Chain A
């Protein structure tokens, strides 16, 4: 299978750092989205996604040769891994003083389901507490949160990757270590299950869905 990934590797091998810079800036928006999705809201005041990407880029440029030597994942997935690792490091650094055991665990696994549910919950909470959003979406958010919480980890992760990180199926497959077909099926199942849960919640206590 020839994918854009192979081309990227070629580019990186030929173009080195300048190719890296170009590719990184191509992915910048997506990475920024991922980072903001997973960034702990308590440090958002001090750190924003751009800062983390800056630091991630330094990491990435240092580790690029190692990656090129033995790359078992595609460039983007690697980029995402590195970026999330940077994020984890920063989280650790930020919370070192007021150590929080739970948080340590969550951040250690950011990018997997534990971190994901936290992130989803977090941004849903953000919305609830944001005055402009409260009235309109509060309930929808609440249901969504409940629904997601009741799902298993992999389903939740698939949905987060597809919709919050806005990754394509192939990338999701790579991250989760599934074949594209399996990933696709898994996603559809998860989406269907989420609809189901939402509907159940909706028909139960909630107001009529538009």
Chain B
């Protein structure tokens, strides 16, 4: 008797019987009756029908396998031989949207990849619309890394489009090749399987094995073979490169292919190696195995390739087209090392959603961002997919583990790359992880940003993506800590902003914070063991986190921008025309201002929500806002912010009088208040503020006697003196010199008021000079002190010059130069010192041979700077200035020709800057001034026509400027002066 779960014995026999028929045998019923005589009767009853039914079924099977009959309309199983102008050659791949064939375009005799929409899709109006739109949108893309679409067509009732056939391997193939254990790596069949499994349906992504294969690609990426080598190798084997199958392929490759057990690509390489007298065994060693050590060259190559892809994707994004299915299988590397983005198969207009309204999920699940799994996609969805692709190429394993693939909520952050492969460069890891962030707000916000960071990595420059720092961990902890999490999102924002701000500001406070951070981390360890997750709180936190990260990204970007351009302020010293002072802010673009204003809005809300515990941090944040406002030229707002911060610190110091830090902060803020006052032309206020600063320092003797306190005082005095020097004298007087310029005339007597100011300034200068000297006695190597001392010394020289003390002026100038020369010698790679030195050397006091030498040295330093950093406008501007000044000297010495030559070069540089930065007044004015000089030279050389022409172009420039700028007054003055000169020349 059989149990409930068992098959009848005859059924078991019947099953075997049917199996044998299916496998093509002709089993005899009587044989079964004989061997199983106890069931003979039943077998005779059952088996005949089985035989008949199986035979019928089998014929159906054969029928199906042999394809449809000709009488039927074309389907993707029985493709017509030709579609329009295209003759189909073979199938390359299949995908959700259709089948890709290699085809010959008869009219142009070129091989193309033809994507034919599947009959299923053609049957649905919606899908058809998507297909057509896809083809149209992709055809509108023209980018050197996007597989071009030639055209769209319809024939035999089939929709298709033709695109360029790329001879290359997909990155998915490369990953699987690198991952594959060495012993199985020679199977060509494996390659094909890989392609099929990856769902690959790219135009060129086939395993056309006699062409460029994954082996060569991998060797290329590892830097063991150049693209040129590959090409050479292939042509030496007379393997068809053009993709034309009609040529005879390499016989060896064909043989190997037929064998089916050898990778023809590697066979080809082996042969090439033999041809070049290399040991062919070496290839087996070169051949990457499972434990392959990826080298530096590989990482850089991958970074380069993904940067190119990001560039292509960014381009598409700017056309309003999302890729929506970026993955290694859709990226093809060709033999020249060019990467191609294929299959904008699911692309749709980013701003228009006519077809996929239902939020249906398309694309390859593994590379889909969590939000895409929920049916939403934007630019950052592509960035996520590209990030995962980069991750996989570096880790050689998928970033998202299989169980999480489909779960939009269960996705975890990807594992740190360097825990998988420690040899991966840290910056590259940081970039990758940023792109793979689960929250779209924390990723790169554009493919261009992604690309830019990859380039920064490739050029060994600092990247913009940040690692998760201890400070950020503090914030993250605070997010998880229930007490702090119960605060509002805005408060959290405050806390975080402080953390960011501290990153940029006072090191001591940061140190204190780090100490607190350690405590927090210890506390976190305890807490995390006890933490019970509360879902609502969790959600609230997630939202807060998103906002914060967005703000941080913006903040950092703007701040970096400002930091990079902050230098131009020192340029003003060199130029020192009072009409230029308000132009400081012009170096910032309007976009920056908008961004920062958004941030400031946040800050305002924060200030309203001040929590007791965070008062110090809040004050620091306020102060930082003031700094930014000052940089932006929003001086009034900056002053307000500074005053709020000042009050906050005052409150703190009254509570805690032992700690000197609030006083120091107050002093520093007062210094900034001085600077803003001076920028607004409020000299008296600035002087008063300096008095306040002194008072604050006196409140706490410890602070007053500390090096930091002294330093603040010295810098404050210094800036007041420098400013005072800048505003001294009438520009009209100065322009009476041999050439318009800033050489202070020594022949004219000082007006009484001016003499009084010079006396006051000299006194102040002496004070700061002495403080700085004592500081340097304490810490002779402190760079900040030395730079500040150089500044004070330079001011001393100018003041001596004004006091007609030529000897002291010379001495001071020499010693300022000496300080900077020493710094430059100590830090030869520091561009900052080089720049300061060049800039100081330009401050010529008279026309003596020694001054000429200094000018020439300055010019040389400027040239070095421009050569090293051709894109830094400040360097170019300084070079132009040094050229103009040397020209002035030359002209003074009667060498008109040489002067003209230099002025022309100066004009060239300045024109470039003026055109590149039309909003930066400084560059416009410098250019106009140099043109004026050049006109003077022409006029002197009896070439009035050229002089007129030059002046006219200067006038035209100032004219167009006057309509654009806020600073009508100075511009108008300049215009008047130019017109006066022009009139003197006549018509």
Contact = CB atoms under 8 A, between A and B. Distances in A.
9 contacts: A44-B72, A45-B72, A130-B69, A164-B60, A180-B5, A181-B4, A188-B46, A192-B49, A196-B45
A71 interface: no
Contacts of B57: 163-164, 166
A62 B50 CA distance: 38
B657 interface: no
A105 interface: no
B72 A180 contact: no
A16 B53 contact: no
B12 to A, nearest CB: 8
Interface residues of B, number: 58
A93 B53 contact: no
B540 interface: no
A33 B57 CA distance: 10
Interface stretch (B116-124, B173-181, B292-300): B116-124
Given A44-B68, A45-B72, A188-B11, A16 B404 contact: yes
A47 B120 contact: yes
B11 A61 contact: no
A6 interface: no
A141 interface: yes
B959 interface: no
Nearest to A170: B7
A199 B48 contact: yes
B5 A1 contact: yes
A194 interface: yes
Given A15-B402, A17-B405, A166-B57, A191 B50 contact: yes
Given A17-B402, A184-B11, A126 B63 contact: yes
A60 B187 CA distance: 32
Contacts of B10: 188
B49 A168 contact: no
A-B pairs, top 9 by smallest CB distance, nearest first, are: A51-B120, A194-B49, A195-B49, A45-B73, A192-B45, A17-B405, A191-B46, A184-B11, A18-B402
A179 interface: yes
Contacts of B60: 36-37, 123, 126-127, 164
A12 to B, nearest CB: 9
A11 to B, nearest CB: 10
A195 B14 CA distance: 13
Given A15-B403, A64-B406, A47 B119 contact: yes
Contacts of B406: 16-17, 61, 64-65
A188 B366 contact: no
Given A144-B56, A169-B7, A184-B11, A46 B122 contact: yes
Given A52-B120, A54-B96, A123-B60, A140 B52 contact: yes
Interface centre among A14, A133, A187 (most CB of B within 10 A): A187
A184 B403 contact: no
A106 interface: no
A144 B53 contact: yes
Among A90, A133, A179, A195: residue with most chain B CB under 10 A: A195
Interface in B1-53: 2-8, 10-11, 14-15, 18, 22, 42, 45-50, 52-53
Interface in A49-79: 49-52, 54-55, 58, 61-62, 64-65
B521 interface: no
A198 interface: yes
- Highest count of chain A CB atoms <10 Å: which of B11, B49, B76, B403: B49
A181 B5 contact: yes
A124 interface: yes
B726 to A, nearest CB: 68
Interface string A139-162: 011001001000000000001001
Given A124-B56, A185-B8, A188-B11, A93 B366 contact: no
Interface of A: 1, 13-19, 21, 25, 33, 36-37, 44-52, 54-55, 58, 61-62, 64-65, 90, 93-94, 123-124, 126-127, 130, 133, 137, 140-141, 144, 147, 159, 162-164, 166, 168-169, 179-182, 184-185, 187-188, 191-192, 194-196, 198-199
Contact of A180 (B7, B15, B45, B407): B7
Nearest to A1: B5
Nearest to A133: B59
Contacts of B872: none
A147 B121 CA distance: 38
B61 interface: yes
A198 B407 contact: no
Given A52-B120, A179-B4, A195 B56 contact: no
B52 A198 contact: yes
Contacts of A141: 56
Q: Is the interface of A mostly helix, strand, loop or mixed?
A: helix
B6 A180 contact: yes
Contacts of A36: 60, 64
B6 A181 contact: yes
A192 B47 CA distance: 8
A166 B68 CA distance: 22
B49 A162 contact: no
A180 to B, nearest CB: 5
B4 A180 contact: yes
A15 B123 CA distance: 34
Contacts of A18: 366, 402, 405
A1 B6 CA distance: 11
Contacts of B119: 45-48, 51
B545 to A, nearest CB: 26
Given A179-B5, A181-B6, A163 B53 contact: yes
B361 interface: yes
B75 interface: yes
A18 B398 CA distance: 11
Contacts of A47: 75, 119-120, 123
Contact of B75 (A46, A61, A126, A166): A46
A127 B8 contact: no
B77 interface: yes
B54 interface: yes
Contacts of B54: 163
Nearest to A33: B61
B64 A137 contact: no
A51 B69 CA distance: 18
A14 B403 contact: yes
A165 to B, nearest CB: 9
Given A19-B402, A55-B120, A164-B57, A198 B8 contact: no
Contacts of A182: 4
B600 interface: no
Given A181-B7, A195-B49, A127 B75 contact: no
A19 B406 CA distance: 12
A140 B48 CA distance: 12
